[in-house]
Amino acid sequence: MNIPRQPFLGLALMAALGIGVAGFFPIAASQWWLRAIIFAVLAIPLLCWPNLTSTYLLVGCGFFFLHNFRIGLKRTKILFVSDSGCATEKSLLASRSDLRSDVLVKGQHHSGNSGSDVFLDAVRPRLIVATSRDFPQQERISDEWAGQVRARNIKLFRQDETGAVELEFGEREWQARAYLTGEIFRSANR
């Protein structure tokens, strides 16, 4: 395999590869030890022989683990989809995996399209923690989408308004606290 010499191109390709492979070979959240072993094995070459190839492997592995990583805490589930777009959402839906999660943590895809109705129907989150920024414009959450989320009775923490969001989990319930506004959303609210 020819390794790209431009670091950005290589990193982008490995990130895409890690995301693509994650859709075909999911590792259950309960198998955290397997994730740790794979990540450590790939980190050793980077630490011992730092070069582009070992960096690419580690980045691909990282995106594999983080792309659709879901944490299972008793009965609470969190789905992290980063700034994936419609294509990734369609891929997740096509995998027929159980995507239901209490919390959805998402970025806004550069295309401006993510968080489709069909995807939200499958995930059925109680809370969405979403990044949003003024520039570029397409990475800003639209007022229309935010209104659709509220109409579904889903709490939306827009990080351009809330700042950091802390999630705290107890035995029977969880809560999210927005740092800038001080607002607290409790799972018992619903």
Tokens of 177: 């606290």
Angle between helices 32-48 and 52-66 (to 10 degrees): 160
What is residue 73's predicted lDDT score, i.e. its pLDDT? Answer: 47
Superfamily of domain 68-190: Ribonuclease Z/Hydroxyacylglutathione hydrolase-like (3.60.15.10)
CA 147 to chain centre: 22
**Range(s) for CATH 3.60.15.10 in the chain?**
68-190
What is residue 81's predicted lDDT score, i.e. its pLDDT? Answer: 81
DSSP string, 64-119: HHHTT-EEEETTEEEEEEET--HHHHHHHHHTT-----SEEEE---TTS--S-HHH
Digits of tens for pLDDT over the chain (190 positions)?
A: 555 556 656 666 666 666 666 666 666 655 666 666 766 776 676 666 666 666 766 677 666 666 655 444 457 888 888 766 677 788 888 888 888 999 998 876 555 567 788 999 999 999 999 887 666 666 677 888 889 999 999 999 988 888 889 998 877 788 999 999 999 999 875 4
The pTM score is 0.61
